[in-house]
Structure 1
Amino acid sequence: MGLPEILIKFQSLAVSAIQRSERGIVALILKDDTKKDFDTKEYSIITDIDPDDWTEENKDYIEKAFLGVPNKIIVERIDEDATDYNEALQRLATKHWNWGAIPGIGESDVSTVATWLKTKRDNFDKVYKMVLPNNDGDHEGIVNFTTEDIKVGERVYTTAEYTARLAGVFAGLSLQRSSTYYKLNEVDSIKESEDPDQDIDDGKLILINDEGVKIGRGVNSLTTLDVTQGEDWKKIKIIEGHDLVKEDIRRTFNDEYVGRVNNSYDNQVLFISAVNAYLQTLEGEVLNPNVDNFVDVDIEAQRLAWEGIGTDTSEWDEQEIKNNTFQSKVFINGPMRFLDAMEDLYLKVNV
């Protein structure tokens, strides 16, 4: 397989990146005994919902998620008397989805679900993200929603119950904007935060009153930063960009290369060239066009791999490292700068 085929694959992904980013998949877990002859339902549009399948409350959660216009909603049903959510989580672990919520979740189950989510992202490289109530997960894949007493018409929703609505918002938003100041037109009132700035700094996603009820700032629960996770990792929009690029590259590699192409440096160059062409196409929409966004062979990782099996590489220069591919492994890395949305104005008026 030569360069043109893989280039076409990546180019089509790049062209559709914005469309795909605003058509994400929501996963909901609901306890419901209305009908027990199914475990999973998938809906593409709100009219697909059969009202006889769900309680009024659960049907409402699905409809609230659809307000964000996601591409699809996957609903995993478990029995009312289930003592945990493990069965549904196991089913979701084999499926593709972007944003999850469990609107009926109790306080005792939140930390368990958060740990599951972290494990899937950190150890299995999944792109799952979840909106959880009152969970300071300190993780880019967890949104810690904390607003209480959300009144919509005659009904007042708890924090947990409104996570389904937010999962739909995040799944339906394009990478051309952030969720900051996203207006929830259906919400009449909320219990307002006493210190919204501090809450946001603490990794809490809150709703605010500002000519209507809006998302205060689109942040996840990450608060502990280091050299690999800077300030921008706290933004939902940035992590969405990370996940889009990572998923596109990994999926194309799996579909077009794994088991089909010999691991020579020449073939690695073909793949790297295609990835770089894909990244250039994303510039201006997802990536900052004013910096270099590219990947290349990860020299240090490849050198360490050889050293790890006892090979002395001290005399090898960079090109020699590249030429000596390691077993079936392809090590690549490179700098990328993701575009955030305009959110903060610093205005000085000189008179």
Structure 2
Amino acid sequence: MSWKTQNKRRPGAYINVVGKGKDNTGADIGRTLLPISSQLDWGAKGIIKLNSDSNFKALLGHDINGPELQTLHEVLKGANTVLLLNNNDGKPATATEPSLPWKFTAMYPGTKGNDLHVTVQKQDSKVTVSTLFGTKMVDQQVIDVTKPDNLIDNDFVKFEKTTELAPSAPGSDGNGSNGSDGSDSKTKSLKASNTPVVMASKLESLGNDVTVDLTGGTTVPVQIADLLNDALETEDYDVATTAGFPIDSPLHKQLVDEIKHLRDDNDVKVRGVVPATTDKINYEGISTVANGVVLGDGTELDATVAAGYFAGVSSSADASKSLTYVEYPDAISAYPKFSNDKTIDALEKGQIVFTTKRNETVVIEQDINSLTKVTADKPVFFSKNRVVRTMDTVVTRIKHTFEDMFLGKITNNAAGRDLFKANIVSYLQGLSDAGVINGFNEEDITVEEGNERDAIVVNLAITPLDSMEKLYMTMVVQ
């Protein structure tokens, strides 16, 4: 958390980040938090962890190339992991069949569960159980007719064993030729005729193929806004985005406010990406996206969806990387294309702009954030995302080092403080060697005793480096 006076009650690391400059107007990464913007009618409520190799059909009920997952598809072009916030809730579809020894229940709530069908086919001493989601077979198992317990849950359906036995009249061939359907009416009929009742395995008695349709699945969506703040405060991510939601959605402001709260009040250095709205955000932890792209297949993605790509690639970028002029995968044109004047205007507003290059590639014009009003504490270079990533990386690393290795473990004396200083110096010299910060030396940090016996005070100066972005050249021809 940030601090103004040494009056904190809770143990922890309290770190201020301020710039030193004149007023000027001129680690494990790659995790993106994304609330779902379309109703999926399937999947677990809350956070679903996804990557490019995930089984999207099983987890979300839709193919990754479908329109329902369009924004997720763009986020995954840049992110290593997406924490998808799903608001699906309701009742799962279910089914029972008297001739079968199982109750069938959809793995998740939602109306998509009503598209599930289970087919049971018997051949000799084996039965084949096939699960279909719509018209596509998604699971198939072969079990012995005497071992219904061997049927295991799959990604779509849970199988609960009910009763294994079915009534069969004496002399039955055990293959259902006497019409064995396992019903109570048959049992009563046999008893009424004083015919001895013989109980046989339902699967052994099965005659014809059986198809069971799951029904009764309902969707009762949870308000995504009710889930968002909790996810923002409790999940481990680098960048959060409300990409995919309409430009006038109140979720954008909700995300911005919560990111500011986490960064300024809790010292959690996460960042946010939203489509550019009429609101002036002016904050180094938030990037806004001004336009979209056209993909190679002609699909037009507006800024609300294309913001997902920028969020994903931002989460994967480390402190040594700028996203300026990074290509947007599979994009052939900006949408809409901005003129030179409009591009400059958007940049001056602190907006991310996608620009079409001559070879039909699309690039991120400049890796900036929404900070436009600079001060002595927040100089102009705070508007550059590479610089912000550097500052966030240093703060997070020092915070974790203190909490994991020193808090409650190391004595607060000169030797203990020197040990903490040496740890930080070693880390920062590594960043200097890697070209992340410039020319760090041991004199740039002090670790002193605080006002209380359990407090230390660290004063640290670093100079984050940025990437080359402008070439000014004069060529004299004689």
TM-score w.r.t. length of structure 2 = 0.60
Residue equivalent to 1:57: 67
State the secondary structure of the residue aligned to 2:304.
Answer: coil
* Structure number with higher helix proportion: 1
Question: Does the aligned pair in 1 maintain the 2:30–2:81 contact within 8 Å?
Answer: yes
Question: Does the aligned pair in 1 maintain the 2:87–2:223 contact within 8 Å?
Answer: no
Residue equivalent to 2:231: 91
Q: Which has the larger radius of gyration?
A: 2
State the secondary structure of the residue aligned to 1:181.
Answer: coil
* Structure number with higher strand proportion: 2
Distance 1:54 1:213 in 2: 32
2:467 is the counterpart of 1:326: no
Structure 1: gaps spanning 5 or more residues: 1-19, 298-321
The CA RMSD over aligned residues, in Å, is 2.2
- Taking the TM superposition and a 5 Å limit, the aligned residue runs for 1:239-318 are 239-290=388-439, 292=441, 294-297=444-447
Distance 1:102 1:49 in 2: 23
Residue equivalent to 1:41: 48
The alpha-carbon distance between structure 1 residues 126 and 105, as it changes in their structure 2 partners (threshold 3 A), is same
- Taking the TM superposition and a 5 Å limit, the aligned residue runs for 1:21-32 are 23-31=29-37, 32=39
Residue equivalent to 1:207: 354
Question: Does the aligned pair in 2 maintain the 1:188–1:213 contact within 8 Å?
Answer: yes
Residue equivalent to 2:82: 73
Structure 2: gaps spanning 5 or more residues: 1-26, 89-219
Distance 1:48 1:122 in 2: 35
Distance 1:175 1:112 in 2: 27
AA of the residue aligned to 1:285: A
Following superposition, the deviation at residue 149 of structure 1 comes to: 6.0
State the secondary structure of the residue aligned to 1:349.
Answer: coil
Residue equivalent to 1:300: none
AA of the residue aligned to 1:188: I
The alpha-carbon distance between structure 1 residues 89 and 75, as it changes in their structure 2 partners (threshold 3 A), is same
Residue equivalent to 1:166: 310
What is the CA deviation profile of residues 99-144 of structure 1, one whole-angstrom value per residue up to 9, with x for unaligned ones? 1112232313122221111111111111111110114311111001
Question: Does the aligned pair in 1 maintain the 2:292–2:306 contact within 8 Å?
Answer: no
Residue equivalent to 1:108: 249
Residue equivalent to 2:382: 233
The alpha-carbon distance between structure 1 residues 91 and 112, as it changes in their structure 2 partners (threshold 3 A), is closer
Distance 2:427 2:451 in 1: 23
Residue equivalent to 1:339: 465
The alpha-carbon distance between structure 1 residues 85 and 54, as it changes in their structure 2 partners (threshold 3 A), is farther
2:345 is the counterpart of 1:198: yes
State the secondary structure of the residue aligned to 1:163.
Answer: helix
More deviation, 30-39/227-236: 30-39
Question: Does the aligned pair in 1 maintain the 2:32–2:312 contact within 8 Å?
Answer: yes
State the secondary structure of the residue aligned to 1:250.
Answer: helix
State the secondary structure of the residue aligned to 1:108.
Answer: coil
What percent of counterpart residues are identical?
18
Question: Does the aligned pair in 2 maintain the 1:285–1:339 contact within 8 Å?
Answer: no
Question: Does the aligned pair in 2 maintain the 1:265–1:325 contact within 8 Å?
Answer: no
TM-score w.r.t. length of structure 1 = 0.80
Distance 2:385 2:364 in 1: 12
Residue equivalent to 2:474: 348
Count, aligned residues: 305
Distance 2:424 2:293 in 1: 47
The alpha-carbon distance between structure 1 residues 338 and 323, as it changes in their structure 2 partners (threshold 3 A), is closer
Following superposition, the deviation at residue 150 of structure 1 comes to: 4.2
What is the CA deviation profile of residues 181-215 of structure 1, one whole-angstrom value per residue up to 9, with x for unaligned ones? 11113112221224212211220111111232111
Following superposition, the deviation at residue 152 of structure 1 comes to: 5.1
Distance 2:329 2:428 in 1: 36
The alpha-carbon distance between structure 1 residues 102 and 324, as it changes in their structure 2 partners (threshold 3 A), is closer
Distance 1:216 1:323 in 2: 46
The alpha-carbon distance between structure 1 residues 147 and 236, as it changes in their structure 2 partners (threshold 3 A), is same
Decide which of 332, 339, 347 is 1:188's aligned counterpart: 332
